[in-house]
């Protein structure tokens, strides 16, 4: 039990590292004070630049993948790997280092899913790409991908813990997009490539 809890705590703490904020501050910008105020790659792209956004996307994805891989390697247990991944996403969304005000968890969730449900992750990425291409709404693409991920995990017959973890992560990601959902309904959500009003 102590090892299990240690893995979850360390996974959460890694997930809580605000790479988007750290990367943007290297340019002298606090991304929380720009655009949507979010620390994720989309707001870094809008508020700082493409290079910084790419680095944020990579770092946030890796910090989701590493805990799941490490947990599997240490314990040999798929349940622990899935929970470690979920803990990392929780850390990104509710980071202790930023008074529990974090990002939306999309890239970190992707990192987890790439490891525990790779086929579902690929499918979710395709859904994301298609929705964003057609609608130009990154938030709608993220929500659609989150919905698709656990469904695809079940269709590809991944283990129950992987499916449950994918569903829990999807719920968390969608819940963090509640303001975007309201804006989509109202028709005020910003499209990709458009300046924020």
Q: Which residues, 6 or more positions from 139, have their beta carbon under 8 angstroms from its beta carbon?
A: 177, 180, 181, 183, 184, 189
Structure confidence at residue 1 (pLDDT): 65
Query: Of 92, 98, 70, which is closest to residue 14 (Cα–Cα)?
Result: 92
Residue 113 — φ and ψ, nearest 5°?
A: -65, -35
Decide: helix, strand or coil at residue 105. coil
Q: Domain segments of the chain: what residues?
A: 2-186
Grouping H, G, I as helix, E, B as strand and the rest as coil, residue 114 is helix
Residue carrying the six token digits 């809008």: 46
Predicted confidence at residue 196, as pLDDT, reads 46
Distances (CA, A) of 184 to 124, 139, 191: 20, 9, 10
Ranges under pLDDT 50 in the chain? 196-197
> What does DSSP assign to residue 189?
P
């Amino acid at each position: 039990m102590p090892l299990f809890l240690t893995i979850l705590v360390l996974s959460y703490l890694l997930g809580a590292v605000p790479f988007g904020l750290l990367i943007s501050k290297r340019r002298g910008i606090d991304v929380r004070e720009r655009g949507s105020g979010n620390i994720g790659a989309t707001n870094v792209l809008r508020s700082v630049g493409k290079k910084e956004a790419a680095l944020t996307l990579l770092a946030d994805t890796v910090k989701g993948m590493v805990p799941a891989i490490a947990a599997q390697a240490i314990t040999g247990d798929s349940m622990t790997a899935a929970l470690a991944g979920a803990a990392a996403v929780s850390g990104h969304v509710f980071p202790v280092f930023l008074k529990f005000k974090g990002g939306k968890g999309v890239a970190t969730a992707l990192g987890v899913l790439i490891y525990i449900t790779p086929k579902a992750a690929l499918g979710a990425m395709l859904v994301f790409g298609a929705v964003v291409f057609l609608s130009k709404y990154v938030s709608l693409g993220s929500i659609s991908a989150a919905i698709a991920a656990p469904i695809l995990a079940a269709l590809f017959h991944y283990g129950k813990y992987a499916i449950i973890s994918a569903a829990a992560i999807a719920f968390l990601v969608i819940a963090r997009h509640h303001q975007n959902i309201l804006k989509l309904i109202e028709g005020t959500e910003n499209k990709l490539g458009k300046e924020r009003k």
